[in-house]
Chain A
Amino acid sequence: MITFDQVSKRFGERVALDSVSWNMNEGECVVFLGHSGAGKTTVLRLITHETLPTTGRVVVGTFQGSRLTRRQRALLRRTLGIIYEDFRLLGDRTVFENVALAVRIAGHFRDDEVIPRVLYALDEVGLKGVQAAYPHELSAGEKQRAAIARAIVNRPAVILADEPTGALEPQSARDVLTLLQKIHLEGAALLLVTTRREVAEVLPGRVIELREGCVISDEERGGAPRVRAARAPGESDASMEA
């Protein structure tokens, strides 16, 4: 479903990702864990084609190759549901309109299908009562749930979540993670990036740890490591073993 084959990404002299290879299957849950600047968000940006790899190959479903047209790129993004740390809701639209926008963009549904679809998604995230509210009237947790509703409303095959609990207080963070787990259990693949180990521990599936652009571990939760990856630049064998 998603494959990174020897992918490197450089921004000038800085190496964001260094020859990273991994893949993710349908319905799988993968958490990318790493400190700030480890290359987690670059992974997401490569998947959504916001940026291109310097070397290597990124395959997302049937989309592969480094040079998609703008139309192909739009089609690729419609197969994904994306959740951001800062929610990225449109402030001049209600919660309902924010979610409906994703349905309109997908373009698969008739006008009379939009309303029930949006209401169903809002119901799933527990926001049916605040559909007429504007983002500035919501708490951070509610905003993130609205963003999740927008991400799932078109039933994408993969949900990408970029530090979805980063701006939330503990209870809201737990609620959001529970919601994401539920969506994953219903069949969607989930790829989440986070700096918090406790977030990675809550979710099922694999945890891929990044450090300075390199995969340093790829472990199935509760199982043996799938990859014992190359160490981060400048890291000794001793520190790896420690």
Chain B
Amino acid sequence: MFFFHLREALRSFRHHRGLATTAIVALTAVLTLAGLFLVLDYNAQVALQFIGDRREMVVYLKDDVTEIQRNALIQRLAQLYGTATYVSKDDAWHEFTLQVGDPQLLEAVDQNPLPSSLRVHLRAELLNAPAMAAAAKQVQQFPEVEDVRYGAEWVRRLDDLNSGLRRGALTAGAAVGLLAILIIYNTIRLTVLARRHPIEIMSRLGATDAFVARPFVIEALIEALIAAALALGILFGAQEAVASQWLTSVVFIPWTWAVAFAGATLALAWLAATLALSRVLRAVGA
């Protein structure tokens, strides 16, 4: 029976080529816009991940900390927060002189004032402002620790930027989803009205609403699938062009995202077609 309904859907598709093509073009445009936000969001995530990976917490040690105490602390930090690397007073001074560049400027400093420290490369789940603040507060409680720094303001801004992008993508996705529903809803409604006569005949022959509706739902799914494939194709082409000409770091969304994108489009198409048919069939099928 599925193949019968599929044939019916293709027949309707052929008969209303103009309407179907218009729907596919409009849907492709809307989905391309949605996909563009998706690609931007994904690239922003990749960039933020890269930046986030460089976030670290610097734990300054007291001068009287012994090597045994320091090693014990490194082990505990590794268990709780992430990999810790020891930077001795001399290493810190060396880094500082490299940063300053001109040794004459440091001639007046007769004694190394820099403390030794541990640089903690935090685990992924701790790479956000609240978690980092909580971790810093806990580490501060260790007796060997003089002070903890992690660039609180910078981390907070990074988090704000990340959540702003996510909100933008979600808002755009919702708006575009609504547009897609409207396009499919109206296309199916117009198709049903254009096929009013055959539907009336089927209804008089005893066809249930489900029997009449199935080909239209399949037709909507076909249109949505074509539009989603076209939108993904356009976006992939655009990404390739941008990556080869200007920004090599721009990447396309992973295939799991692409499948989810197509799946979400199909779900929207099913929803819109079902809504349209539940209303219009009552008016048409007497």
Please choose the segment from B82-90, B155-163, B200-208 that sits at the chain A interface, where 4 or more of its residues have CB less than 8 A away: B200-208
Query: In the bound complex, do residue B201 and residue A78 qualify as a contact, i.e. CB atoms below 8 Å apart?
Result: no
Kindly state whether residue A74 has any CB partner on chain B within 8 Å.
yes
Nearest chain A CB to B176's CB is how many angstroms away? Answer: 34
Query: In the bound complex, do residue A90 and residue B201 qualify as a contact, i.e. CB atoms below 8 Å apart?
Result: yes
Kindly state whether residue A230 has any CB partner on chain B within 8 Å.
no
Bound: A104/B286 CA distance, A: 20
Q: Size class of A's contact patch? A: 20 to 34
Per-residue interface assignment for chain A, residues 68 to 82, with 1 indicating a CB less than 8 Å from any chain B CB and 0 otherwise: 001100111111101
Bound: A131/B18 CA distance, A: 30
Query: Using Cβ atoms and an 8 Å threshold, which residues of chain B touch A76?
Result: 206
Within 8 A of B (CB), among A216-233: none
Q: Is the interface of B mostly helix, strand, loop or mixed?
A: helix
Kindly state whether residue A101 has any CB partner on chain B within 8 Å.
yes
Query: In the bound complex, do residue B209 and residue A78 qualify as a contact, i.e. CB atoms below 8 Å apart?
Result: no
Of all chain A residues, the one with the shortest Cβ separation from B200 is A88
Query: In the bound complex, do residue A77 and residue B206 qualify as a contact, i.e. CB atoms below 8 Å apart?
Result: yes
Per-residue interface assignment for chain B, residues 14 to 48, with 1 indicating a CB less than 8 Å from any chain A CB and 0 otherwise: 01000000000000000000000000000000000
Q: A48-B204, A50-B286 are in contact. Are A92 and B209 (CB under 8 A)?
A: no
Within 8 A of B (CB), among A68-126: 70-71, 74-80, 82, 88, 90, 92, 101-102, 104-107, 111
Kindly state whether residue B123 has any CB partner on chain A within 8 Å.
no
Which of the residues B4, B198, B208 comes within 8 Å of A90, measured between beta carbons?
A: B198
Within 8 A of B (CB), among A44-83: 48, 50, 70-71, 74-80, 82
Nearest chain A CB to B74's CB is how many angstroms away? Answer: 73
Query: Using Cβ atoms and an 8 Å threshold, which residues of chain B touch A80?
Result: 206
Of all chain B residues, the one with the shortest Cβ separation from A78 is B206
Query: In the bound complex, do residue A50 and residue B204 qualify as a contact, i.e. CB atoms below 8 Å apart?
Result: yes
Query: Using Cβ atoms and an 8 Å threshold, which residues of chain B touch A101?
Result: 202, 205
Query: How many residues of chain B are within 8 Å of chain A by beta carbon?
Result: 18
Q: A92-B11, A92-B15, A101-B202 are in contact. Are A71 and B1 (CB under 8 A)?
A: no
Which of the residues B1, B11, B205, B208 comes within 8 Å of A82, measured between beta carbons?
A: B205
Query: Using Cβ atoms and an 8 Å threshold, which residues of chain A touch B205?
Result: 77-78, 82, 101-102, 105, 150
Kindly state whether residue B154 has any CB partner on chain A within 8 Å.
no
Most buried by B among A74, A78, A111: A74
Bound: A70/B11 CA distance, A: 26
Bound: A82/B209 CA distance, A: 19
Bound: A101/B206 CA distance, A: 11
Of all chain B residues, the one with the shortest Cβ separation from A45 is B286
Of all chain A residues, the one with the shortest Cβ separation from B209 is A70
Which of the residues A74, A92, A111 comes within 8 Å of B206, measured between beta carbons?
A: A74
Query: Using Cβ atoms and an 8 Å threshold, which residues of chain A touch B202?
Result: 101, 105
Kindly state whether residue B211 has any CB partner on chain A within 8 Å.
yes
Of all chain A residues, the one with the shortest Cβ separation from B14 is A92
Query: In the bound complex, do residue A88 and residue B208 qualify as a contact, i.e. CB atoms below 8 Å apart?
Result: no
Nearest chain A CB to B129's CB is how many angstroms away? Answer: 57
Query: In the bound complex, do residue B204 and residue A71 qualify as a contact, i.e. CB atoms below 8 Å apart?
Result: no
Query: In the bound complex, do residue A105 and residue B207 qualify as a contact, i.e. CB atoms below 8 Å apart?
Result: yes
Query: In the bound complex, do residue B4 and residue A105 qualify as a contact, i.e. CB atoms below 8 Å apart?
Result: no
Within 8 A of B (CB), among A135-185: 150
Per-residue interface assignment for chain A, residues 183 to 216, with 1 indicating a CB less than 8 Å from any chain B CB and 0 otherwise: 0000000000000000000000000000000000
Bound: A102/B282 CA distance, A: 21
Nearest chain B CB to A105's CB is how many angstroms away? Answer: 5
A-B contact pairs, 8 of them (CB 8 A): A71-B209, A74-B203, A76-B206, A88-B204, A92-B15, A104-B4, A106-B206, A150-B205
